Structure 1
Amino acid sequence: MEEDQEQLIEENQPLEADVKTFKETFEDIVLCIYFSEEWLTAAYIDLFEKQAYMLPLFSVCEGIDNVVSKCKPLSKPKLVIMTVGPTIILVSEKLSRKNLQCVRTSAKDNLNSFNIFVRPESDFVCNEKLIEYLHEKWHDKLCDIDEKCIQTLCCVASFVCQNYRLEDLEGNQIDFNTWLSDVCIFKLATYMYVSKETLEDLQIFENEYHPASHIGGQKEGISLFGLFVKHIVTAGGKKTLKKWMQRPLTDLGIINKRLESVKIIRENIQSFQRIKDFLKLFSMVCGVLKKLKDNAKCSYKEYQLIIKFCKLMNNLIYSKQVGEFKGLEGLKSLNVLLEMNPEIFQDVITHVEVAIDFDLSKIEDRVVINVGIDEELAHLRQTFDNLPDFLSHVAAALQEDLHFSFPTTLNVVYYPQFCYLICIQLEPHIDPLMDYSMYGLEFQFSTENAIYFKHQRMHELDSYLGDLHSAIIDKELEILTLLNEGLLSFGNEIENFLNVVYELDCLMAFAATSIDLNLGCPIINDSDDLQIINGFTFLIDVNQVSNALKQLTPKSLLLLDEFGKGTNSNDGISLFCGLIEYLSSSTPGTPRTIAITHFHEIKKLNLLENESKICWKTTKTIVQEGNEQSLVFLYKIIDGESENSWGLYCAKLAGIPDHILDSDEYNEQEDSVDDVLNALNALEVPFKESLFEH
């Protein structure tokens, strides 16, 4: 995997995948990093957001916006890559071998795998048309941007235009300027650098194998992301939430605005369900519009879904106008949506309801166009409805004209594509192999019960009436195509609000989770102090044990991991021993229990009175003596108890410097268990009794 990530793809070599079309679910992030030994700048395009981001030029020798200025192990290019999390990285062909290696070695620390493309210097030449457009539309943002930064964005734009087909929602190819929705300036100081290992260790994300793992399926495990994502409604909201957690903000202004938005949602719980219904419908309507863009067939129920969404939007807009959302004025993302023109949604409702006959569509289980919408369609439908009576008259006339030499029943039938046929029912006295040409009949095909023929009259009907059913279907498809084009134009209107909807979805998920878990709103400021009220781990542990004890049955399995930590050692040992004494007693209803502890004193001091039902286990290790003591963990559970925590050795393995581990001050405090026992024996009050007095 790492070799694939580090493989350098030379200039002009085609992409491994086919050319992609940008859609709502597109996730590629294309980063161009342009740097030397003295300076660095970067730009990237998030293809999912259709937004460009630019990092202003800065000196590599200085700190980046007053942060990480002393972070030598983490090079500045690597910091940019870790912050952005790209899937494609573009570098200049003039980049030195040393700097190129710096980019390539960032792969193992990046949450996303990426490929590196070496681009010619010609890609870094400023595109005058693009620059003119950028300055015209986003002049305030770009007025202080250095030319090298603009060149970097031009390289990204060139790569995207060369390798991807840019489309609007209607499927029409468009140029880069039209496709791009926004340009933003980003600074590394705005984001907190979180390494891949940290994200894993803190369980921000946790992938687990899905039951469908045989086909490569995965699911989100027990993680912080999984805690919130279950309340996310839209696919884009899920991706936005993941990006927020990958790149936490350090900007207190933005953080507190988000917290205030969550607080507003919680305080207006009566509007909560209406907004959630909107998000669900929005997600489903985006799926319908995607099908329309791909020319996929949509059911009449999906058109009803669009009407339902538009009616809900108009209802929400009206509710805001009459003051029903007074408490939500501070929720910016919702207010941006509710400032949309309601006429847009009313036009969609009118066009869909006029075009589609939903009652008849339900009966026929297909999309049926209203008869009154088109005169030609109405004429075709009327002719088709009158066809059975007309064909009965034609059959009666033919029966008289043909003068069959045998008694038979003749019918004229209509089949789509075959059009009009004479049908003679097979009876015992009729020979199916006889020659019917004497009657002017042309054999077409036969079934078990009938024979079908063409006749001059049938050819005349083919020319005069035509294939009515196919003509009706073609006309309906023509009308439906015009309707779909209008709906795709409507899709282009709401596409401008995608990022706002996804942000609202994330804020709603935060509010829902905080309600579920009864979480309070944190107060975040510039202080370095961290004050946690009613949230320390010891309180959480005792609450969990308390809940477990209330629900225990003889068939339960209770798992205790380091219970008693996080408080005074005597208190922790007392609680742990008291709990084990209770669980090992003969009290009815006590379950099987597996407990893990680091309190070696329990066994050394014989603090447990009744050990008849307690089985001590430890992990097997081998200590190799020599110049340096070496410890080997065999990862095997054996009978007995551990006589050493091996804390110092584990700390050394983790990379704690020797000058800390060998500190005289530390070693003076490190007494052996025997020393502790001798000291305790000198006390007037036995240690065991003092433990259980707490």
Structure 2
Amino acid sequence: MSKKATSKTSTTDTKKTKQTPLMKQYNQIKAKHPDAILLFRVGDFYETFGEDAVRAAKILDITLTQRANGAASKIALAGFPHHSLDNYLPKLVRAGLRVAICDQLEDPKAAKGIVKRGVTELVTPGLVLGDNVLENKKNNYLASVYFYKNKKYEAVGAAFLDLSTGEFLAAEGEYSYIEQLLERFAPSEIIYSKSNKKEFETQVVRQGSNFSQFAIEEWIYTTNFAYEKLTKHFGTASLKGFGIESLHAATIAAGAVLYYLETTEHHEKNHIISLSRVEQDKYVWLDSFTTRNLELLVPMHANGCSLIEILDKTVTPMGARLLRKWVAFPLKDAKPIQNRLRNVATLVKKDALQGELRSYLKEVGDLERLISKVAVARINPKELVKLRDSLEAIPPIKDILFKSKMNELEAIGEKIVLNNEILQKLQNELEDNPPLNVQQGTTIKRGVNKELDELRDISSSAKDFLEKVRQREIIATGITSLKISFNRVFGYYIEVSNAHKTKVPAEWIRKQTLVNAERYITPELKEWEEKIVTAEDKISSIEYALYHNLVSEVAKYVRVIQQNAKYLSMLDALCGLAEVAMQNNYSEPEITDNNILEIREGKHPVIEKLLPIGEQYVPNDVIMNPESEQIFIITGPNMAGKSALLRQTALIVLMAQIGSFVSAKSAKIGVVDKVFTRVGASDNIAKGESTFMVEMSETASILNNLSDRSLVLMDEIGRGTSTYDGISIAWAIVEYLHSLPNAKPKTLFATHYHELNELKNDFDRIKNYNVSVKEVGGKIIFLRKLKEGGSEHSFGINVASLAGMPKEVVLRASEMMHHFETNKFAEKDKKTLQSAPKNTFYENQGSLFGSQTDPALEKIKDELLALDINRLSPVEALLKLNELKIRVGK
């Protein structure tokens, strides 16, 4: 190695022969976890060194110092007390870091030489069990993604694990489907094969989601290795029972998750009892654009509000997490939707029963996470008490469900299993108010263990004995200020002030001299000290063993308690939906088999709740029948409510298919299988994509994935380019949506291009609507009411005036608008539009040039046929199209 290269190495690599034994041990352990922050236990502190210390000090806001690393080098150092781990660890994990916790594996007092140390846990953003890191109402998923490809088979597989609950899921399909899952599950961490680095960076990372990523060796992502890992863990001969036997990509992704658990020292996995397949056919297609645009789970602005925030009236964390999944994955099968709606309707009608259920549900803790902590032996005494209290609330809940005499509720009650045996054991053995740590106080009740009770008697009687000794010696010596206390260095002692030290008996042994006093010991005190200390050590040992035996007994009920948690969370979610329906006066939607959408007096569920006090949301009807009213062209000024109308229509449909009552007077909904939105403007400058490019990409995704039961919402398509380009694109898109041979997707198309109103004259399933306004004295009043017929004005100048635009600008704009309307957009332009070429998307496609034999046209035809469309970017395609258009015109 050159001198120059040597000078750039870290201080931990220099003068290795002179490193301290501690630093040698540190470097050996650190070498095994180079990608993690290593918290190295030294006495009562967790220390970090070198680059780890620099990063930790900045994130944790702790002091960065230096320490000697041998005779001639120093190394950065930063640390914190070991008992503060729960305060500092979350900050490191939330910063997206992997943290290796290195503990002392032996008692320092008994160690010969350097204390043995080792990594006891590797905490990563996706593998967390601590409540101080986890969010109660959100799952914390680790995701594994694998791009599988061979000559016969090509797919992308994904697996999702929430270690804190034991939920384990797998899926497989085209990347567009996996992308949807990543958006909706929002994993904290994604692992992938090093062989997939290119695919991962070009497809997964481009989403810009906030997750940590970690690449692992490609040999782990192999079919045989993954299959064996999964079958061995679940104790099965095959994966047929999990529905992924033939899904190679999903199997490989899931197997890698189990391997990753082992490498991060998470060896206890007994709470991961099943693997469920996420089936694409069960849920509404919601691409990442739509999930974000509709603000289903996360608001687009810091001070905004999402749909889940409006719907979530749950009283348990596990109920909140389940409802979140319902919102992320609306159903598209009518029967389960109707079943949920019947349950909600029952709870709405029986509001007293619902209130009684919720009162007991409030007593139920986070059963999913509590029982997972039991399974991995990481539950503390206070959490075990919460688990016991949760089990105590289950019998009355089951009784209420049976007494309801409602089939839907009784069906849930039948699936809840009582845990009387383990509940009774917890009630009999566990103290009601134990300490946080089993070694910090009384955890086990009296009467459980005879020896423990006797030792506690000795320990408690010691205080009485010591007080009797003190009183006796005061009388014997006449030293009224005499005290008996305890010191870790030399145990129990008698303290006498200097004023009385002449009265001290000769048989007392002086142990310590203070400024104003002397401390003595006696054979009698030493004898009792041994009894007391021995008793307390035995108490600690026996209580620790009894507690962990109790936890082991509870662990036998992991599966049944997880099942109860599943149905209690379902009940909580249903009660919450009933509560929100009653509070907001929502109505029960009718789910139909036809493809008609009929919403009467619909409202935007979020905007309605955010309006100032006294202001009423203006409801609107949306009635669509693909056979007669497939496409709505909606015009009207900015701020009139077009975007809100589009969004509320989609939200009402999705609320219904979640199983919720809806924000409308009534709703009849033919089940929708896909919802697409192209609403709002955004860009992706980091990837070189302008606002218009993003708009075109999102629109292309919609047009390439349509079905007959799709609901499409498009707002201001084509506004990011020139006027004529924009109108042409918008016009062509509407024609395309109307002319699909095998699908008639219901479409709401909001636009400022009033020229599109002309489409109604040529297409029988296109209808014009406008969001009405009233103009009074040059000012506009937004009526926010949807009316039939197109609008010819956008009132943009009026809106500019309302926004506070300088008067001079407003007046000049009015003059220019009058000029353009008079001279450019005359009546002849309407005639030009009416005589525009008719749609030929699916008619006469082979006769684009008719029977023309013009050499120039033939040359253009040859160029068109020679074009490799797949190699053209969208911008290049538009430029080429424009060039050919000009040449055809000539």
Give the 3-state SS of the residue equivalent to 1:255 in structure 2. Answer: helix
| TM, length-normalised to structure 2 | 0.49
Give the corresponding residue for 2:746.
none
% identical aligned pairs:
14
- Superposition deviation, residue 54 in structure 1: 5.0
- Superposition deviation, residue 227 in structure 1: 0.8
User: Of 233, 247, 254, which aligns to 2:336?
Assistant: 254
Cα deviation per residue 1:604-649 (whole Å; 9 max; x = unaligned)?
9xxxxxxxxxxx96539xxxxxxxxxxxxxx972223654999xx9
Q: Highest Rg: 1 or 2?
A: 1
Closer, same or farther: CA 22–109 of 1 in aligned 2, 3 Å: closer
User: Of 441, 453, 475, which aligns to 2:509?
Assistant: 441
Give the corresponding residue for 2:455.
380
Query: Unpaired segments of 5 or more residues in structure 2?
Result: 1-32, 37-96, 100-121, 618-637, 646-766, 821-828, 838-890
Closer, same or farther: CA 79–667 of 1 in aligned 2, 3 Å: same
Closer, same or farther: CA 155–383 of 1 in aligned 2, 3 Å: same
Give the corresponding residue for 2:833.
664
- Superposition deviation, residue 145 in structure 1: 4.2
Give the residue type in structure 2 aligned to 1:329.
Answer: E
User: Of 158, 169, 178, which aligns to 1:80?
Assistant: 178
Give the corresponding residue for 2:404.
325
Closer, same or farther: CA 305–166 of 1 in aligned 2, 3 Å: farther
Q: How does 1:312-351 map onto structure 2 within 5 Å?
A: 312-320=393-401, 323-330=402-409, 332-333=411-412, 335-336=414-415, 338-351=416-429
Kindly indicate whether the alpha-carbon contact (under 8 Å) linking 2:148 and 2:154 is maintained by their aligned counterparts in 1: yes
Give the corresponding residue for 2:352.
270
Query: Unpaired segments of 5 or more residues in structure 1?
Result: 1-11, 58-75, 210-217, 551-559, 582-592, 605-615, 621-634, 650-659, 669-694
Kindly indicate whether the alpha-carbon contact (under 8 Å) linking 1:135 and 1:143 is maintained by their aligned counterparts in 2: no
Closer, same or farther: CA 106–227 of 1 in aligned 2, 3 Å: same
- Superposition deviation, residue 546 in structure 1: 12
Give the residue type in structure 2 aligned to 1:173.
Answer: H
Does the alignment pair 1:44 with 2:158?
yes
Give the corresponding residue for 2:261.
164
Closer, same or farther: CA 577–349 of 1 in aligned 2, 3 Å: farther
Q: How does 1:202-601 map onto structure 2 within 5 Å?
A: 202-207=294-299, 221-229=304-312, 231-284=313-366, 298=381, 305-320=386-401, 323-330=402-409, 332-333=411-412, 335-336=414-415, 338-352=416-430, 356=431, 367=442, 369-387=444-462, 390-391=465-466, 394=469, 408-409=479-480, 413=484, 415=486, 417=488, 419-425=491-497, 427=499, 430=500, 439-444=507-512, 446=514, 451-464=518-531, 466=533, 472=539, 475-487=542-554, 489-490=556-557, 493-535=560-602, 547-548=614-615, 561-562=639-640, 572-573=772-773, 577=776
- Superposition deviation, residue 453 in structure 1: 0.9
Kindly indicate whether the alpha-carbon contact (under 8 Å) linking 1:617 and 1:637 is maintained by their aligned counterparts in 2: no
Closer, same or farther: CA 41–236 of 1 in aligned 2, 3 Å: farther
Cα deviation per residue 1:97-146 (whole Å; 9 max; x = unaligned)?
7xx37x72354447665747475356323246457567947776468943
Q: Distance in 2 between matches of 1:596 and 1:523?
A: 26
Cα deviation per residue 1:307-340 (whole Å; 9 max; x = unaligned)?
43232212233455xx41321535755542x234
| TM, length-normalised to structure 1 | 0.61
Q: Distance in 2 between matches of 1:489 and 1:359?
A: 23
Give the residue type in structure 1 aligned to 2:249.
Answer: T
Q: Distance in 1 between matches of 2:573 and 2:435?
A: 40
Kindly indicate whether the alpha-carbon contact (under 8 Å) linking 1:52 and 1:183 is maintained by their aligned counterparts in 2: yes
- Superposition deviation, residue 531 in structure 1: 0.7
Q: Distance in 2 between matches of 1:163 and 1:144?
A: 20
Q: Distance in 1 between matches of 2:465 and 2:266?
A: 46
Closer, same or farther: CA 534–33 of 1 in aligned 2, 3 Å: same
Q: Distance in 1 between matches of 2:215 and 2:433?
A: 53
Give the 3-state SS of the residue equivalent to 2:341 in structure 1. Answer: helix
Give the corresponding residue for 2:800.
619
Q: Distance in 2 between matches of 1:135 and 1:458?
A: 59
Q: Distance in 2 between matches of 1:160 and 1:77?
A: 19
Give the 3-state SS of the residue equivalent to 1:372 in structure 2. Answer: coil
Q: Distance in 1 between matches of 2:195 and 2:572?
A: 44
Kindly indicate whether the alpha-carbon contact (under 8 Å) linking 2:459 and 2:532 is maintained by their aligned counterparts in 1: no
Closer, same or farther: CA 22–399 of 1 in aligned 2, 3 Å: closer
Closer, same or farther: CA 400–14 of 1 in aligned 2, 3 Å: closer
Does the alignment pair 1:193 with 2:261?
no
Q: Distance in 2 between matches of 1:143 and 1:572?
A: 53
Give the residue type in structure 2 aligned to 1:245.
Answer: V
Give the 3-state SS of the residue equivalent to 1:45 in structure 2. Answer: strand
Give the residue type in structure 2 aligned to 1:315.
Answer: P
Give the 3-state SS of the residue equivalent to 1:33 in structure 2. Answer: strand
Q: Distance in 1 between matches of 2:243 and 2:497?
A: 86
Q: Distance in 2 between matches of 1:184 and 1:549?
A: 45
Give the residue type in structure 1 aligned to 2:424.
Answer: Q
Kindly indicate whether the alpha-carbon contact (under 8 Å) linking 1:43 and 1:52 is maintained by their aligned counterparts in 2: no
Give the corresponding residue for 1:124.
222
- Superposition deviation, residue 532 in structure 1: 0.8
Kindly indicate whether the alpha-carbon contact (under 8 Å) linking 1:291 and 1:298 is maintained by their aligned counterparts in 2: no
Q: Which is bigger in relative contact order (C-alpha 8 A, separation at least 6)?
A: 1
Cα deviation per residue 1:162-191 (whole Å; 9 max; x = unaligned)?
322499xxx98346xx55432334443333
* Aligned residues between the structures: 536
- Superposition deviation, residue 523 in structure 1: 1.9
Give the 3-state SS of the residue equivalent to 1:44 in structure 2. Answer: strand
Kindly indicate whether the alpha-carbon contact (under 8 Å) linking 1:83 and 1:247 is maintained by their aligned counterparts in 2: no
Q: Distance in 2 between matches of 1:387 and 1:153?
A: 64
Q: Distance in 1 between matches of 2:435 and 2:142?
A: 44
- Superposition deviation, residue 519 in structure 1: 1.3
Kindly indicate whether the alpha-carbon contact (under 8 Å) linking 1:53 and 1:185 is maintained by their aligned counterparts in 2: yes
Instruction: Return 20-29 or 466-475, whichever deviates more.
Output: 466-475
